[in-house]
């Protein structure tokens, strides 16, 4: 029969014949054809027709239709049998669900395909073979008519088969796809989402394989998956076929790209995070299976799967795809996209695209904030998913046959999940997995179900014990933490509607780039203080001079640790520049185009000495609080080349990433002459005041800054009051000393007079002045005092911003 079928010609169907076509080329369908070929195939056809002319590469292929599926069901009398079977369905009973699902699939598989459907598939496959060669390899994917909707992803509900060769293998895979409409997970998911099992049809997409088994593949979102920040594209990548990432079998690389300046022609890669990528899925050449998993060579695991050009290319495609679907639908439509790189041609391809279904559906006018009230022993950490907190008894389950042991409210602890786990995932208070990244199955479903998850922990199933009470916190940034015990926490819901607008700019203090995207949901006018210290201490960890003079390091342990940190860098100093630029770039991008004031490094010598390799380059000072810090370091021959690295990083943020909303600020500048020397040093390193709109501010934190504010105004573009240091130096006390801590009070009349004088003098000279110190965050009456003095901006800690905003609005109304 196969030879006879292959000799027949293509259907050559007209558009008006789509409703009764058994097979359609992907090039002849579009997004309006979901009812014919399902969401996945309609989207592929849409991209082939509309986006390939814009440079987006999509592998071609064909799809069986909903009409073909319904003909199969109707002619074989399957609907009556299936309805009878589902009459007793209870998706809450795992055993009942299994029995119904198994019987439904057997009914489908034991019913042969109609001859006309076999022939139509054969003709379409023959056309593909004429283009790519005999027995060409294809991916066979299910595409249901209800999937990939904006409010329901149906992620992984039906089956996918990769590296399928020959007509017989193709027909078998198509048949299995039809049957997979009744997998346990698909039945359960439809029931939960309120879809009628018999109103949904299944289309099978057959697409030329991209040989990513010889290269890499991954998933990307045109939105940040955790915070809903819409201006970043998140890309994950691992070696081999993409199923390992979707399944959560590997911890992939992650890359973040800022979309607005990417569209302007810049190269704004905000983050590159190396995954372990321990296994990859490849073709099982000569074996019994279609694919198999193999280990990745250790030397390859330490390399990024994508280079910068490929990261930027994928991000550009994400923008093109998102813009197109947003235009088609008439609303912003963030996208969830699968991509693959062909190892034979080194070309990138898009193999799937669907609307993102979680962040795009969230309520935008209410800020929900989870906050731990206490902490306890940290049991393990991983990648956080969903900024929430969950708790309960751990339930360690290794594979699907054990899921009946799961109790509602348990914390699911496992190696990884796939769609077969979904019947119990919806009942979990939280999920913890050994492997997986932010785009794996566990992460996608946890977000959709509103459950916190920590993925990629490595050894969760070894450390956590069934019955152990734990708290899973994903509310502390990108790193999720599992704590011992059931810890108290609160959920704050803050309505954002009808908040007053103030004349005084309300800005934010931000130090941790991992929190930046999430903080943008709080109403603000930008960042009044972005600190480098957190990035240097937590992400770089090494002293800049230790990186510049790595070969001369005397501390062997520090040298070993630095070598580990910088394993991907031949030039260790480049590591410093990359990490600092990415960290500050992320903060500047989060608040773009609002101003972000970045204070250059203000470590004291004792703090610098605590960095890896730092002791070799730092003096011992009796009182480092008023010693070699801030401006005095920048032009000093003993630190000048370290400061040059900071300048390189800041120049990259502005010039390469296009984030010109960044304003630089000099701390602890004792005299106007010192300010001039620092500006000259910055100019030598490519940061020229006023060039490309660069503004440079100074911290107003020394009495000399206040008394000579008129002269400092001739040097700098603006001022930011550092109330902590100004209080210390006005009252003559060391704020690090517990002996005099009780005297430290920014509300002291002497300090207030200093601040009042600074504001008045600076404004007389036409410069801007704000405050970034702690006082207005702690004391509402101090915020009112600042408003009365006519300050331009107040920068607050995020947790006190909304409360202080209301105080400021009241103070302005009473002025």
**Is there a contact between 68 and 117 (Cβ–Cβ < 8 Å)?**
yes
DSSP-assigned letters across all residues of 550-572: GGG---HHHHHHHHHHTTT-SSH
* Whole-number Å distance between alpha carbons of 318 and 322: 6
* Whole-number Å distance between alpha carbons of 334 and 231: 10
* Helix, strand or coil, per DSSP, at residue 692: helix
Catalytic residue among 440, 441, 457, 474: 441
* Helix, strand or coil, per DSSP, at residue 272: strand
Q: Does residue 772 carry a catalytic annotation?
A: yes
* Whole-number Å distance between alpha carbons of 634 and 657: 24
* Whole-number Å distance between alpha carbons of 441 and 91: 20
**Is there a contact between 417 and 425 (Cβ–Cβ < 8 Å)?**
yes
**Is there a contact between 616 and 625 (Cβ–Cβ < 8 Å)?**
no
Query: Residue 583: CB partners within 8 Å, gap ≥ 6?
Result: 513, 532, 534, 535, 539
Residue 194: left (phi > 0), alpha (psi -120 to 50), or beta? left
What distance lies between CA 417 and its chain's CA centroid?
20
* Whole-number Å distance between alpha carbons of 261 and 691: 19
Of 478, 493, 518, 505, the C-alpha closest to 798 is 518
* Whole-number Å distance between alpha carbons of 388 and 390: 7
CA angle 610, 616, 618 (to 5 degrees): 65
Report the DSSP beta bridge partners of residue 17.
Answer: none
3-state helix, strand, coil split of the chain in percent (to 5) is 45, 20, 35
Catalytic residue among 174, 216, 440, 772: 772
**Is there a contact between 429 and 390 (Cβ–Cβ < 8 Å)?**
yes
Of 214, 232, 213, 212, the C-alpha closest to 222 is 232
Give the DSSP H or E segment for 371. Answer: strand 366-372
Alpha helices in 434-510 (DSSP H): 441-449, 460-463
* Whole-number Å distance between alpha carbons of 796 and 375: 24
Number of Cβ within 10 Å of residue 594's Cβ equals 16
Q: Does residue 216 carry a catalytic annotation?
A: no
Residues belonging to the active site: 441, 772
């Amino acid at each position: 029969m196969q030879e006879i079928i292959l000799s027949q010609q293509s259907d050559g169907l007209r558009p008006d014949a789509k409703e009764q076509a058994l097979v359609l080329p992907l090039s002849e369908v579009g997004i309006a054809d979901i009812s014919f070929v399902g969401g996945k195939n309609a989207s592929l056809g849409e991209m082939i027709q509309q986006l390939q002319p814009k440079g987006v590469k999509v592998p071609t292929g064909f799809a069986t239709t909903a009409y073909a599926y319904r003909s199969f069901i109707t002619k074989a009398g399957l609907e009556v049998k299936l309805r009878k079977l589902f009459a007793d369905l209870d998706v809450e009973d795992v055993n009942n669900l299994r029995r119904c699902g198994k019987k439904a699939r057997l009914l489908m598989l034991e019913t042969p395909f109609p001859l006309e459907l076999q022939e139509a598939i054969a003709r379409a496959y023959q056309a593909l073979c004429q283009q790519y060669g005999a027995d060409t390899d294809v991916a066979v994917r299910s595409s249901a008519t209800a999937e990939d909707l904006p409010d329901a992803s149906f992620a992984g509900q039906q089956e996918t088969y990769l590296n399928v060769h020959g007509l017989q293998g193709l027909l078998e895979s198509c048949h299995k796809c039809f049957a997979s409409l009744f997998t346990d997970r698909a039945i359960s998911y439809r029931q939960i989402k309120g879809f009628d099992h018999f109103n949904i049809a299944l289309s099978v997409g057959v697409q030329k394989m991209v040989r990513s088994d010889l290269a890499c593949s991954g998933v990307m979102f045109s939105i940040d998956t955790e915070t809903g920040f819409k201006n970043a594209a998140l890309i994950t990548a691992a070696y081999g076929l993409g199923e390992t990432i979707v399944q959560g079998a590997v911890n992939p690389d992650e890359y973040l790209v800022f979309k607005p300046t990417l569209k302007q022609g810049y190269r704004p890669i905000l983050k590159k995070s190396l995954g372990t990528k321990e296994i990859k899925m490849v073709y099982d050449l000569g074996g019994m299976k279609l694919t198999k998993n193999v280990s990745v060579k250790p030397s390859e695991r330490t390399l990024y799967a994508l280079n910068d050009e490929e990261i930027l290319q994928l991000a550009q495609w994400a923008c093109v795809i998102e813009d197109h679907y947003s235009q088609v639908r008439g609303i912003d439509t963030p996208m969830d996209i699968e991509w693959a790189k062909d190892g034979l041609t080194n070309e990138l391809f898009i193999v799937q695209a669907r609307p993102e279904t979680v962040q795009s559906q969230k309520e935008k006018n209410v800020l929900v904030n989870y906050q731990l009230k206490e902490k306890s022993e940290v049991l393990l950490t991983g990648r956080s998913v969903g900024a929430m907190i969950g708790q309960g008894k751990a339930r360690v389950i290794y594979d699907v046959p054990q899921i009946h042991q799961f109790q509602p409210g348990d914390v699911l602890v496992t190696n990884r999940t796939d769609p077969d786990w979904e019947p119990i995932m919806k009942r979990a208070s939280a999920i913890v997995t050994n492997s997986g990244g932010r785009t794996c199955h566990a992460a996608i479903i946890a977000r959709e179900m509103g459950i916190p998850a920590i993925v990629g922990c490595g050894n969760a199933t070894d450390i956590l014990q069934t019955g152990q009470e734990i708290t899973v916190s994903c509310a502390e940034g990108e790193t999720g933490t599992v704590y011992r015990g059931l810890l108290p926490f609160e959920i704050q819901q803050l309505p954002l509607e009808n908040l007053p607008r103030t004349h005084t700019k309300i800005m934010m203090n931000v130090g941790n780039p991992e929190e930046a995207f999430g903080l943008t949901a709080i109403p603000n006018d930008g960042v009044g203080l972005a600190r480098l210290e957190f990035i240097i201490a937590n992400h770089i960890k090494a002293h800049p001079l230790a990186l510049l003079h790595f070969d001369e390091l005397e501390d062997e342990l520090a040298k070993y640790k630095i070598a580990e940190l910088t394993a991907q860098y031949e030039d260790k100093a480049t590591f410093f520049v990359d990490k600092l630029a990415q960290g500050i770039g992320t903060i500047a991008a989060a608040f773009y185009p609002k101003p972000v004031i970045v204070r250059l490094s203000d470590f004291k010598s004792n703090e610098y000495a605590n960095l890896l390799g730092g002791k070799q380059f730092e003096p011992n000072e009796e009182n480092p609080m008023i010693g070699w810090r801030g401006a005095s370091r920048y032009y000093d021959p003993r630190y000048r080349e370290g400061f040059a690295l900071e300048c390189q990083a800041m120049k990259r943020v502005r010039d390469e990433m296009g984030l010109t909303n960044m304003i630089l600020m000099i701390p602890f500048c004792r005299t106007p002459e010192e300010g001039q020397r620092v500006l000259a040093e910055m100019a030598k390193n490519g940061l020229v005041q006023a060039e490309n709109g660069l503004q440079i501010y100074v911290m107003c934190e020394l009495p000399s800054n206040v008394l000579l504010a008129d002269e400092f105004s001739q040097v700098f573009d603006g001022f930011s009051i550092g109330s902590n240091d100004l209080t210390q130096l006005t009252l003559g006390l060391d704020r690090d000393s517990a002996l005099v801590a009780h005297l430290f009070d920014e509300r002291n009349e002497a300090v207030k007079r200093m601040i009042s004088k600074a504001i008045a003098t600076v404004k007389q000279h036409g410069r801007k002045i704000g405050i970034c110190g702690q006082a207005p965050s702690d004391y509402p009456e101090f915020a009112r005092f600042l408003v009365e003095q006519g300050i331009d901006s107040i920068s607050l800690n995020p947790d006190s911003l909304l409360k202080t905003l209301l105080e400021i609005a009241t103070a302005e109304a009473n002025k």
